[in-house]
Amino acid sequence: MEGDDVAYLEAARTVDDRAHSDAATDAFRTALERPTLGRPARERPTPGADEGSGSADGVRVFEAGAGTCGMLRRLLDDGALPAGEWVAVDADERVLSAGRDRLHEAARVAGYGVETEGSELLLELPDDATLRVRFAVGDAREVADDRGGDFDGVVARSFADLLAPDDVLDLLGTAAPDGWYHLPLTFDGETRFAPEHPTDHAVIDAFHGTMRNRGRAATLLAERFREAGTPPTVDARADWVIEGTSDGAETHGGAAYPADEGTFLRIVLDTVVASVRESGAVSAATLSAWAGTRTAQLERGELGYVAVNRDLFGRVP
Ligand SMILES: C[S@@+](CC[C@H](N)C(=O)[O-])C[C@H]1O[C@@H](n2cnc3c(N)ncnc32)[C@H](O)[C@@H]1O
């Protein structure tokens, strides 16, 4: 989805949290606890040996499109941060910098010691363990080319649908042979709004038409993994779901939607309308009527939304 910014990513957090599949989350967290699965112990780096080395103990993770560090902050909230090194990459300097600041603050509030070394954060975890978080601004494919090859795993949430499948497969080369990938919330080409509107099909079809492969990224990637002989060990639905009220009643402490999900939905709606307008696939009158109805429903808290995503986890091909 285009137009990502700090407000959108922050508003998405509760929607993301609900969407994750337990199966992929469990597989991912197990992999974080067993770093040598993807990398023989003799090849693991020693501390301070050179740029790119992390803690001698622990996992090394490359995260593409890290955004506002939502993945790391979720692990922090759950007391599940791993020891080791995590390289968070994003093309948007402003977004990644906001993520760094929020992670720092969340770790401080949670009672972890935090040291800074340049732009890096060194999080002091229980039992004398540490997690070094490095931040890199740039195209994940280029950063991966520079630093890749021996990470235990590659993480990319709500990201794999932004690249061509071949580029995602290349990116997974950042992991060591037998390393793992975790691609949660990968869009899979279905969007629904509720209640139904007579021109939904035209608008949503046009929206999907603006995306690479009509947005079927998860299906295509899973096929590619199967063809390469490494089918995903977890391929689970992880839809974004926001329910509207059927009668416009205010339900969440006076607000129409929980947390900041009204903002999330507004940005989704704006993105759909802008993309379809630019495509020219729907008449201006039809799009304007659809947008007007949907905006009024959003303001009344009646608008529901589902985006079909899948969580993919497995061994890199
Ligand atoms: C939908 S957001 C997801 C952010 C984060 N993973 C999350 O789930 O909260 C996608 C992120 O990918 C970043 N991005 C897009 N293309 C990129 C690229 N080629 N390399 C690195 N980051 C990219 C955007 O700046 C944005 O922060």
Q: How far apart are CA 16 and CA 231, in angstroms?
A: 24
Q: Tell me whether residue 259 is exposed, middle or buried, using C-beta atoms within 10 angstroms of its C-beta: 0 to 12, 13 to 18, 19 or more.
A: middle
Polymer length in residues for the chain: 317
254 sits in the region (left: phi over 0; alpha: psi -120 to 50; else beta) called left
Show Cβ contacts of residue 272 under 8 Å, excluding neighbours closer than 6 positions: 191, 203, 204, 207
Q: How far apart are CA 90 and CA 103, in angstroms?
A: 15
Going by the DSSP 8-state scheme, the letter that residue 34 receives in this structure is -
Question: Which amino acid would we find at residue 7?
Answer: A
User: Using CA positions, which residue lies closest to atom 19 of ligand 1?
Assistant: 139
Residue pair 153/179 in contact (Cβ under 8 Å)? The answer is yes
Residue pair 90/106 in contact (Cβ under 8 Å)? The answer is no
31 CA distance to ligand 1 centroid (A)? 23
State the pLDDT at residue 178: 87
Cα 51 from chain centre:
26
Show Cβ contacts of residue 269 under 8 Å, excluding neighbours closer than 6 positions: 291, 294, 295, 298, 303
- Residue 256's DSSP bridge partners are none
State the DSSP H helix or E strand holding residue 33, giving kind and residue range, or none if neither. helix 22-33
State the pLDDT at residue 53: 37
Cα Rg, the chain, nearest whole Å: 20
User: Using CA positions, which residue lies closest to atom 4 of ligand 1?
Assistant: 67
Closest atom of ligand 1 to CA, residue 90: 22
The token duo for 135 is 């931040």
Closest atom of ligand 1 to CA, residue 96: 27
- Most ligand 1 atoms within 8 A of CB, residue of 20, 162, 171, 311 to mutate: 162
Of 5, 2, 10, 314, which Cα lies nearest the Cα of 155?
314
pLDDT digits (tens, 9 = 90+) for 98-157: 999 999 999 999 999 999 999 999 999 998 999 999 999 999 999 998 876 789 999 999
State the pLDDT at residue 2: 40
Does residue 288 sit in helix, strand or coil?
helix
User: What is the residue whose two structure tokens read 């990398």?
Assistant: 39
Question: Which amino acid would we find at residue 220?
Answer: L
Q: How far apart are CA 266 and CA 198, in angstroms?
A: 20
State the pLDDT at residue 40: 45
Beta strands 151-155 and 240-242, pairing class: unpaired
242 sits in the region (left: phi over 0; alpha: psi -120 to 50; else beta) called beta
The token duo for 129 is 């363990």
> Which of 234-257 are b and which e, b meaning 16 or more Cβ less than 10 Å from the residue's Cβ?
bbbebbbebbbbeeeeeeeeeebb
User: What is the residue whose two structure tokens read 């899948």?
Assistant: 310
Name the CATH topology of 18-186+214-239+310-315.
Rossmann fold (3.40.50)
Tell me the average confidence (pLDDT) per consecutive run of 10 residues in the chain, 317 residues long.
75 97 98 66 40 60 98 97 97 97 97 96 94 97 86 97 95 92 98 97 98 96 95 98 74 78 96 98 98 96 97 96
State the pLDDT at residue 3: 43
Q: How far apart are CA 272 and CA 293, in angstroms?
A: 14
16 CA distance to ligand 1 centroid (A)? 14
State the pLDDT at residue 149: 78
User: Using CA positions, which residue lies closest to atom 25 of ligand 1?
Assistant: 92
299 CA distance to ligand 1 centroid (A)? 28
- Most ligand 1 atoms within 8 A of CB, residue of 96, 154, 159, 166 to mutate: 159
Q: How far apart are CA 154 and CA 140, in angstroms?
A: 11
